[in-house]
Amino acid sequence: MDRAIIVFTRVPLPGKTKTRMMPALSGKECARLHTYFLQDICEACQACREDVYVNYTPEDEQKTGILRDIFGRDAEYFPQQGDTLGQRMYHAIEKVLEKGYKSCILIGTDVPELRAEHMIRAFDLLVEHDIVFGKTKDGGYYLIGMKKPWKEAFGLEQYGVSTVFEETLCRLRSLGVSIGSTAELQDMDTPADLQGYRDRMRADDFLKGSKTGKYLASNSRISIIVPVYNEEKTIGYLQDQLRELKGKCEIILVDGGSTDHTLDKISNDFTLLHAPKSRAAQMNAGAKASHGDVLFFLHCDSELPAHPLAQIREVMRDHRAGCFGIAFHSRNFFMFTCRIISNHRVKDRKVMFGDQGIFVDRKLFFDIGMFPEMPIMEDYQFSLTLKEKGIRLGMTRKRIYTSDRRFPKGTIPKLKLMWKMNRMRKMYRDKIPVQTIAKMYKDIR
């Protein structure tokens, strides 16, 4: 009974916890996210093998069963006491140290990346220091540890600002207090913080395996963006596919000035935008109007596999950009060859094309300047830019079927077009003006 951990928290209830995540997350999603934070923190506490006290907000007294389900019977529970945040933290530490512990640490619950080693390090530092802190990257702190209650550590008039940590240190140093610091971590208060967690998770197997990591990987917001131009033959089937995804993701169609009956056939169920005729300009306009964490650019003549959103999220757990494997319904040998080459190109040459259904992390998309607005090759240049920046591409396990309408009938004509497309890409790499190359490409729509 030498050391104790105090978990300082709210009860995860919709509308009362993680509210700064709203409206990006619903109240229920905020509560669920906080629940996963608590479950990860509970596992870290259990790994420390110290006594655990859960100090909860008093207004949630009737809902503490939620916390008991997470932290179990071995933890002790008591309500926070005091009018200010500082008073509440001080009274929690005072109450626990009065039980005879030689030291205790108090931790917040906005840092799901907290691990047992961070807390063990804090306890070790308390052997030689009066107070120990775990700083957050936004200028606050997620952990404070003491061997005796220091009221001076909690005298700030305002918390939740970027100067909390430095102001607290200045107060304590003026008293000659010895201070130690454990690891600096990122707290999770805003939607941007969630994006940062996903970025770190891609390189950290521990985070991928955490409750928070699994939840964020399976619940990232996806925006489907479809450039449309003279697609009266394909728009009906596309909408039939997308209706199954309504309510599960954001769907945006961007028309480039169709002159056929495409617009008449687009249902009011879908968001419809207008942009100049240019696949790049249309996709960029859709991206700017979107809200998703992941942007999925889909061609109008594509046929999605089952559970496409799950396929995308599976890839995006480990990558910042990717695409579907491609397939054609045609039995022609050269179409099969085109399928093999296209899918191999992603793995070997790190290049993906628009008809494979490109998806990309939202921040990355805007950081690299979106699709270059050029008459042709916008997807090729997009891939080259990602490659230059060292972005690894992922590919889904299931295939997206795309139309072979751009290919003429007959084996020899198909082969000639494949050769021509390869030659056009070579010309582009050789710095031939893209306007010259565009004149060689026939838009069949």
pLDDT of residue 327: 73
Question: What CA–CA distance (Å, rounded) separates 96 from 407?
Answer: 75
pTM score, two decimals?
Answer: 0.83
Structural element, H or E, at residue 344: helix 333-348
Question: According to the model, what pLDDT value does residue 164 have?
Answer: 79
In tens digits, the chain (445 residues) has pLDDT values of 699 999 999 999 999 999 999 988 899 999 999 999 999 999 999 999 999 999 999 988 889 999 999 999 999 999 999 999 999 999 999 999 999 999 999 999 999 999 999 999 999 999 999 999 999 998 888 999 999 999 888 876 556 556 778 888 888 888 888 999 999 999 999 998 998 999 999 999 999 999 999 999 998 999 999 999 999 999 999 999 999 999 999 999 999 999 999 999 999 999 999 999 999 999 999 999 999 999 999 999 899 999 999 999 999 999 999 999 877 666 655 555 565 666 667 777 788 988 899 999 999 999 999 999 988 889 989 999 999 999 999 999 999 887 655 555 655 666 566 667 777 777 778 788 888 877 777 665 5
Residues 6+ away with beta carbon under 8 Å from 293: 194, 195, 198, 220, 221, 222, 361, 362
Within 8 A by CB and 6+ apart from 49, the residues are none
Is the CB of residue 250 less than 8 Å from the CB of residue 221?
yes
Taking the CA atoms of residue 230, residue 381, residue 319 and residue 294 in that order, the dihedral angle to the nearest 10 degrees is: -40
The greatest distance separating any two alpha carbons of the chain, rounded to the nearest whole angstrom, comes to: 87
Mean pLDDT across the chain, nearest whole number? 89
Number of other CB atoms surrounding residue 20 within 10 Å? 14
Q: Which domains does the chain have, with CATH numbers?
A: 3-201 (3.90.550.10), 222-438 (3.90.550.10)
Q: And the tokens for 328?
A: 């054609």
195 burial (CB, 10 Å; 0-12 / 13-18 / 19+) is middle
CA proximity to 1, closest of 104, 73, 131, 114? 104
| Residues 38/109, Cβ–Cβ less than 8 Å | yes
Structure confidence at residue 331 (pLDDT) = 64
Query: CA quadruple 332, 395, 425, 234: dihedral positive or negative?
Result: positive
